[in-house]
Amino acid sequence: MINKTDIHKFSFPEMVSGGNGKTSGTGCAGIYLILIGSLCFIFGVLKSCSDIMIQSLALVSLGSALLGIKKFNPTKDTTNTEGK
């Protein structure tokens, strides 16, 4: 059995792909939102603008929620297993 909590086996492709190996739109959108939100947060800290920091935290929260939904939502098997 694979230990899913092993931090030494991090894989970026597993983070953005679904259980069937295909790229997940939800995972990619989550990663992009977290990166953009983090950059905006740093910009808000440098400019000391609290409005930018609050909105960027909302982006990071939304991106984290998208990644969480992708991980906890089981993928549906769309392969046809019926024989002809």
Tens-place pLDDT, residues 14-49: 777 766 667 777 788 888 899 999 999 999 999 988
Residue 38 domain-assigned (yes or no): yes
Whether 79 is covered by a domain: the verdict is: no
Is 15 inside any structural domain? Answer: no
Q: Which amino acid is at 46?
A: L
Q: Specify the number of domains making up the chain.
A: 1
- Of 80, 83, 71, 78, the closest CA to residue 5 belongs to 71
- Residue 55 counted as domain residue: yes
Task: State how far the Cα of 83 lies from the Cα of 71, in Å rounded to an integer.
Answer: 31
Q: Is residue 81 one of the residues assigned to a domain?
A: no
Region 57-81: mean pLDDT is: 75
Nearest alpha-carbon partner for 40 in 49, 29, 30, 27: 49
Domain that holds residue 62: 24-72
Place of tokens 């739109």: 25
- 50 occurs within a structural domain: yes
**pLDDT for the residue 69:** 79
Report if residue 12 sits inside a domain.
no
